[in-house]
Structure 1
Amino acid sequence: MDQLGDIFRSFWWLLFPLAFFVAQGWSSFLHYKQQKSKIELLKTYAAAGKEPPASLVASLEDGSNHDGHDWTGSGDDSSGHSRGSNAFLVVLFTGLAGVFAVAGYLGILGGVEEELYFVAAVLGVLALAFLVSGMFGGRRKG
């Protein structure tokens, strides 16, 4: 049992990417269920001999999911606002990097300063990547 505790203390930071993967999987599952219910609704319209609403057909054709978040920073949402800015993610990852860096500097967790600096560096690189993506990713339209 002590060996399991040592593994957790060494690799506790892996909970963050694992939680991200679980959240993305859940989001994909919910998107699948939403698309499936739209198809069932189209089948109901077809069985009744009625024309389905154009917005329903359009939402299936472009595969959009306007109810969810677009973490890629590309495209426009249904109201025409550009999602090219990843400002939220830049602020989030910069803040997290700062928290881990300060925790490492102050030695709050005791003896894991190098690991905290490493996590802060990874989060800082992610923040920089989202910043660059937000600045240059939305300019492909022409």
Structure 2
Amino acid sequence: MEDLFRNFWWLLFPLAAFAFGGWDRWLAYRRSREELELIKTYATQGKDVPPELLKRFQEEEDDDEESDWSGLGRRRARNRHRRYSQRDDLRTVIFTGALSGAFFIAAQTSIIPGTEGPFRLVALILICISGATLLSVLVSSRFRDK
């Protein structure tokens, strides 16, 4: 069992991503169910449903129908992309650069015996991600005004 963890430690990351994705979907389901119950409550009492509530419920339904690979609706993804600033990209560059440095230091100092090769590989991948994001920031800032 100890060898299983030693050899396949990296599987914890995709498993955690699946778990958090499932948790997010469950919370979205609960939120939409509660909104529907609120609309039903208004209808049973004979009151008019607030238009903001109906609009929000309709937008979420449209987003679910038009969802893309990321799980976000097209409209929500567009709005998110508009709000996503160059400062966020620079944060990503700094964060992935720092992580790559930490993995490289861990590989050089042999903190965990036998992980020198995998840690160097992770550091190399993170350096590539950091460099690609930095290049994207530089190119997008160059052509943003045009």
TM range (shorter): 0.5 to 0.7
Counterparts of 1:36 and 1:100, CA distance in 2: 43
One of 6, 16, 21 as aligned partner of 2:18: 21
**Cα gap change, 1:103 to 1:59, in 2 (>3 Å):** same
Structure 1 unmatched runs, 5+: 65-69, 137-142
**Cα gap change, 1:47 to 1:27, in 2 (>3 Å):** same
Q: Deviations over 1:57-106 (max 9, x none)?
A: 22212217xxxxx99793336xxx71366535554444333321221122
Q: Quick one: higher RCO (CA 8 Å, sep 6+), 1 or 2?
A: 1
**Cα gap change, 1:33 to 1:9, in 2 (>3 Å):** same
Q: Which residue identity lines up with residue 111 of structure 1 in the other structure?
A: G
Counterparts of 1:84 and 1:59, CA distance in 2: 26
Counterparts of 2:84 and 2:43, CA distance in 1: 35
Counterparts of 2:130 and 2:37, CA distance in 1: 40
TM-score normalised by length of structure 1: 0.67
The structure whose Rg is larger is 2
2:42 counterpart residue number: 45
2:144 counterpart residue number: none
Structure 2 unmatched runs, 5+: 64-69, 141-146
Q: How many residues align?
A: 124
2:122 counterpart residue number: 119
Determine whether 1:61 maps to 2:62: no
Counterparts of 1:108 and 1:12, CA distance in 2: 15
Greater shift in the superposed pair: 91-100 or 10-19? 91-100
Determine whether 1:102 maps to 2:101: no
1:33 counterpart residue number: 30
Counterparts of 1:54 and 1:127, CA distance in 2: 45
Counterparts of 2:27 and 2:41, CA distance in 1: 21
TM-score normalised by length of structure 2: 0.65
CA contact (8 A) 1:75 1:84 kept: no
Q: Report the CA distance between 1:111 and its aligned residue.
A: 2.3
Greater fraction of residues in helix: 2
Counterparts of 1:71 and 1:38, CA distance in 2: 20
Q: Report the CA distance between 1:120 and its aligned residue.
A: 2.6
Q: CA RMSD in A?
A: 3.3
CA contact (8 A) 1:90 1:128 kept: yes
**Cα gap change, 1:9 to 1:90, in 2 (>3 Å):** same
Percent of counterpart pairs with the same letter? Answer: 32
